[in-house]
A and B are shown apart, each in its own frame.
Chain A
Amino acid sequence: MSFVHLAILLPFMMAILVPFLYRYLKRIHTGWLILPVPVLIFVYFLQFLGLKKPLQETIPWVPSLGINFSVVIDGLSMLFALLISGIGALVVLYSIYYLSKKHEDLRSFYIYLLLFMGAMLGVVLSDNLLVLYTFWELTSISSFLLIAYWHKRESSLYGAQKSMIITVFGGLSMLAGFLLLYNMTGTFSVREIIAQADIVTQHELFTAAVIFILLGAFTKSAQFPFYIWLPDAMAAPTPVSAYLHSATMVKAGIYLVARLTPVFAGTAEWFWLVSGFGLITLFWGSFQAVKQTDLKGILAFSTVSQLGLIMSLFGVGSASVLFDSIQDNLYVIATTAAIFHLINHATFKGSLFMVVGIVDHETGTRDIRKLGGLMALMPITFTVALIGAGSMAGLPPFNGFLSKEMFFTGMIRAAELNFFSMETWGLLFPFLAWLASIFTFIYSTILVLRTFTGKLKLSELPKKPHEAPIGMLLSPIILAVLVVLFGFVPNLLSYSIIKPALEAVLPSLLATGDTFKVKIYFWHGFTIELFMTIAVISLGILGYVTVKKWSKIYNVLPKNFTLNHVYNAGIVNIEKGAAMVMNRLMTGSLRQYLTYIFLFFITALGLALILLRPMAIDFINAGNIELFELVLAFVLIGAAITTIVTKSRLTAIISLGTVGYLVSLFFVLFRAPDLALTQLIVETISVALFLLCFRYLPNLQREAFKLNRLLISVGVGVVVTVMAISADATRLLEPISQYYVANTYEEAAGKNMVNVILVDFRGVDTLFEITVLGIAALGIFAMITLRVVRRDKVEGK
């Protein structure tokens, strides 16, 4: 076990300790005891900055199935591990001040949070797809638990259930995609699959694998149309929203896309699905964010939109694989922008969530219609919010500006592509990106100005607002400082983090000795991107000022024309449909179940007889038919028909007895004296028992004739007859009875072969048959003598 494995397992081990810590160290807020875990992990991963070569460690788990807990640290996983542990540490710090020791169940909170942290580290560090899937589902489960943390609230339960259903749906289809990849390459190791990328892209299962895996990535990363769970997940405590639903878990899908880019990149399916859905999500998320009135709602839709942005950049960036060298390869910039924006988004969105949490905590509401004028009361919070929102809107001098410029560059380049039918659709890319940026600007402005400027409405606020304690402000301040720092000195990141990450995402572009030259410039001249940004800002200001006038367009679509409505109606209808099917099929009527069983019997055996062609109707093995047999057969048929059509029960019993005695006559004819004797006596006893039952039967009306029952019974009869004739006609092997004939006397000292077989050759069968008889007798004895009177009858009397 290496240190990397320990880093993944440390949160899990700590999660086991939390209940003990909580119980025995009651004076200290449990969060303080948890805080060292993410800090330690963060410090550990810092040593890999500027990583030159990937590092791999393996522990066998299920070696016979090719499942090994193997961990790879390359640029991409290092970036994510730093994000997870770094923001994790800040969130734990923030939660110490956010969650009160008195009123909240801290034990569950930190257990779930640690579980999530470990699972997320496992997702980004695993090289084995099945191990990755295991951790992936663990993130779904721990996220489910965290969303439902306040489990007494209806909205928490609804949000948790919704996110669970959607992400587990995606997770399962992702598993299917992984299995398809295994089918193609014969390995679960990402590294080895990348080495066989040619085989994968040529394979006929390729498209299916892409769709299944992207379903997993899109549901987890809240892409269109699966984003609907994210706004409802805002019912979680704010530290959870900041951590899971902005910085880490929702980026798991993006991680998956980036991780598998070396396998799928360069194909039209991957390019169009990833960038297309990314762009739609980008636009739709930003468009929807403007109409939200809840601060966390705005941030949720903003997250959706920004994730779409990153996703679309990875999609466009995958086109760069089609150009050979990294010299003059204009499309690498898209991937660079994606990675850069990933970091930026984690920083500013984390800080914004924490700010919103502070506002909520200090005023008691998150509704922007009630908020306003908090600037003077909460200056530090306001500053942090301003920095975060500025970065989100893409204003200089923050880091969001840089990545937004690079985003525009990437999209403009994408419009110049001349394959994947981009000649016709290409212009849509920069246009949608630009439009979405305007909306982003508008909601960022709303977020800050509606909350912090304007008139203070003290009467509407549940609490009297004041500045938050320093401990609560510490985490957002650190993140805001990072926003500014990365804004001014972006090259701090470029060689230590972005370059190794690029090498991990686009390894095929590197010839030996080549390296990516990542240099992020603040000022790159009067380019078209700059003019786009200027247009975004001016149109955004115009849009903010006139928002009341044009916000009517949100009412154009009818109320139930939303994806949420589709989801809710879907759930309700599935339940209704299932209940309807069950009520139809499971009526409790034995007669109906027998109908199903016989219908299934007829179709299965009938189809098998017809399709597999074992049907052979000929009478090679048949003996001669004697007159006596014919007479007996006719009488037997007559008795059988009488049993069916008679109106009186007594007649039915007696004609059934007739059938039995006739059968024993047949045994006589076919020379089976033992059978004939036994049949005679058994038939007598069973007729006597029937007569006994007959005395006690209630006087029920005979049911009317029904055609379908006749058809089913005729069908069963025909199928069995055809099967018996075919079986007799196609005798494959000689019967073994010759052995018995030859050896009955020699081996077993008997001349009655039937009896010798019963007691000697196949004595075990007989042993258990007499056991069956014994059990039947005991059962009858118990049923009759130990009659337990049903309780309701006693009470009725």
Chain B
Amino acid sequence: MKANNIILQTITKVVVFIIITFSIYLFFAGHYYPGGGFIGGLMTASALVLLLLAYDMETVKRVIPADFKIVTAVGLLIAVITGVGPMLSGLPFLTHAHDYVELPLLGKSGLTTAMLFDLGVYLVVIGITMTIIQTIGESD
């Protein structure tokens, strides 16, 4: 059925990595440049959708054996933990801390707990997009 999709599948193999790389860039750049967890997550999800289009549901599930409902839950959990964390040291809910540290390879970088929160958003967005698309795709 998908005999003629050689070109699409080959290009997909190349492009998916570029898209994912771009989405990771968007995610990490979020605090300083346009981007962030939401767009990054959508972009990653679109890479996965491209995989779905080029191959079929079973293949994608084999390649990425993740239950995206759990991904959503993990994302929400990370976001909530980021919020609850500061409360342990007596600060209000969702107080963020930031600092500049010397990292190997990257040099001096700004790190903030807001990034963790954004990671939660990122995972939720991937999770829900994939859940919706997979559910609709599997129904007949």
Interface residues of A (CB under 8 A from B): 673-674, 677-678, 681-682, 685, 689, 692, 748-752, 754-756, 758-760, 763-764, 766-767, 770-771, 773-774, 776-778, 780-781, 784-785
Could you list some 13 contacts between A and B, CB below 8 A? A674-B35, A681-B42, A748-B96, A755-B30, A755-B118, A756-B114, A758-B38, A764-B83, A773-B72, A773-B125, A780-B132, A781-B131, A781-B132
- In the bound assembly, the distance between CA atoms of A637 and B46 in angstroms comes to 30
Q: Is the CB of A677 within 8 A of B39?
A: yes
Q: Does any Cβ of A come within 8 Å of B43's Cβ?
A: yes
- Contact check, B94 vs A767: say whether CB atoms are below 8 A apart: yes
Chain A residues within an 8 Å CB radius of B132: 776-777, 780-781
Which residues in A have their C-beta under 8 angstroms from that of B118?
Answer: 755, 759
Q: Which of B112, B114, B129 has the most CB of A within 10 A?
A: B114
Least Cβ distance of A667 to chain B in Å?
11
Apart from A677-B35, A767-B117, what are 12 other A-B pairs with CB-CB below 8 Å? Answer: A674-B35, A682-B42, A685-B42, A748-B112, A751-B31, A751-B33, A752-B29, A754-B36, A760-B96, A770-B121, A774-B72, A774-B127
Contact indicator B31/A749 (Cβ below 8 Å): yes
Contact of A681 with B46 in the complex, beta carbons under 8 Å: yes
In angstroms, how far is the closest chain A Cβ from the Cβ of B108? 13
Contacts of A760 in B (CB 8 A): 96, 112, 114, 117
Question: B76: CB under 8 A from chain A?
Answer: yes
**CA A692 – CA B140 in complex, angstroms?**
12
CB-CB < 8 A to A692: which residues of B? Answer: 136
CB distance from A238 to the nearest CB of B (A): 72
Residue of B nearest to A777 (CB): B128
Contact of B76 among A749, A755, A774 (CB under 8 A): A774
Q: Could you tell me if B135 and A758 are in contact, using CB atoms closer than 8 angstroms?
A: no
Contact of B83 among A681, A767, A780 (CB under 8 A): A767
The answer to whether B31 and A678 have CB atoms under 8 Å apart is no
Chain A residues, CB < 8 A from B139: 784-785
Known: A759-B37, A784-B135. A764 touches B114 (CB 8 A): no
CB–CB A770/B76 < 8 A = yes
Chain B residues closer than 8 Å to A751, beta-carbon distance:
31-33
Residues of A within 8 A of B29 (CB): 752
A752 in contact with B33 (CB, 8 Å):
yes
| A756 with B131, Cβ < 8 A, contacts A681-B42, A750-B114 known | no
Interface centre among A677, A685, A751, A759 (most CB of B within 10 A): A759
Q: How far is the CA of A773 from the CA of B117 in the complex (A)?
A: 16
- Of chain B, the residue at the smallest CB distance from A684 is B46
A759 and B114 contacting across the interface, CB-CB below 8 Å: yes
In contact, A776 and B128 (Cβ under 8 angstroms): yes
Q: Is the CB of A752 within 8 A of B112?
A: no
**Which A residues are CB-close (under 8 A) to B62?**
none
Instruction: Give the shortest distance, in Å, between B134 (CB) and chain A (any CB).
Output: 9
Chain B residues lying within 8 Å of A777, measured Cβ to Cβ, are 69, 72, 127-128, 131-132
**B interface: dominant SS:** helix
Chain B residues lying within 8 Å of A763, measured Cβ to Cβ, are 83, 94, 96, 114, 117
**Interfacial chain B residues near A689, Cβ < 8 Å:** 136
Cβ-defined contact, A752 with B34, below 8 A? yes
Give bound CA distance, A750 to B121, whole Å.
17
Q: B135 contacts which of A677, A752, A764, A780 (Cβ < 8 Å)?
A: A780
Residues of chain A within 8 A of B100, CB atoms compared: 749
Chain A residues contacting B93 (CB-CB under 8 Å) are 764
Q: Is the CB of B112 within 8 A of A749?
A: yes
- For the complex of A and B, 9 pairs with smallest distance between CB atoms: A777-B128, A749-B98, A673-B34, A750-B31, A770-B124, A751-B32, A777-B131, A755-B36, A759-B114
Q: What is the bound-complex CA distance between A682 and B46, given in angstroms?
A: 11
Question: Once the chains bind, are B125 and A749 in contact (CB under 8 Å)?
Answer: no
B residues 1-60 near A (Cβ < 8 Å) are 26, 29-39, 42-43, 46
Q: How far is the CA of A764 from the CA of B86 in the complex (A)?
A: 14
Whole-angstrom distance between the Cβ of B96 and the nearest chain A Cβ: 5
Q: Which residues of A contact B94 (CB under 8 A)?
A: 763-764, 767
Chain A residues, Cβ within 8 Å of B73 = 774
Cβ of A674: which chain B residues have Cβ within 8 Å of it? 34-36, 39
Complex contact B32–A750 (CB within 8 A): yes
**Residue in A closest to B83 when the chains form the complex, CB atoms:** A767
From the candidates B39, B75, B96, name the one contacting A770 in the complex (CB within 8 A): B75
Contact (Cβ within 8 A) B34 A766: no
Q: How does the 8 Å CB contact mask read for B96-112 relative to A, with 1 for contact and 0 for none?
A: 10101000000000101
Chain B residue numbers with a CB within 8 Å of A776 are 128, 132
Q: Which residue of A lies closest to B111 (CB)?
A: A749
Which residues from chain A contact B98 at a C-beta distance below 8 Å? Answer: 748-749
Contact B32 A770 (CB under 8 A): no
A674 (CB) vs chain B CBs: closest residue: B34
Closest to A775 in B: B128
- Please give me the residue from chain B that is nearest to A750 by CB atom: B31
Please give, as numbers and ranges, the residues of chain A lying within 8 Å of B37 by CB-CB distance. 759
Q: Across the two chains, which residue of chain A brings its CB closest to B96?
A: A760
Residue B80 interfacial (CB < 8 Å): yes
Return chain B residues, CB-CB under 8 Å to A785: 135, 139
Known: A759-B36, A773-B124. A752 touches B31 (CB 8 A): yes
* A752 close to B79 (CB less than 8 A): no
Are B69 and A781 neighbours in the complex by a CB distance under 8 Å?
yes
Residues in chain A near residue B112, CB distance under 8 A: 748-750, 760
Contacts of A780 in B (CB 8 A): 131-132, 135-136
Verify A681–B39 contact, CB threshold 8 A. Answer: yes
With a cutoff of 8 Å between Cβ atoms, the chain B residues found around residue A758 in the complex are 36, 38
Residues of A within 8 A of B75 (CB): 770, 774
- Minimum CB–CB distance for A259 against chain B, Å: 61
Query: B80: which A residues are within 8 A, CB to CB?
Result: 767
Using Cβ atoms and an 8 Å threshold, which residues of chain B touch A682? 42
Docked complex Cα distance between A754 and B131 (Å): 27
Q: Is there an interface contact between A752 and B131, defined as CB atoms closer than 8 Å?
A: no
Q: How far is the CB of B76 from chain A (nearest CB, A)?
A: 6
Query: Closest B-chain residue to A749, C-beta based?
Result: B98
For the complex formed, measure the closest distance between the CB of B129 and the CB atoms of chain A, giving whole angstroms. Answer: 7
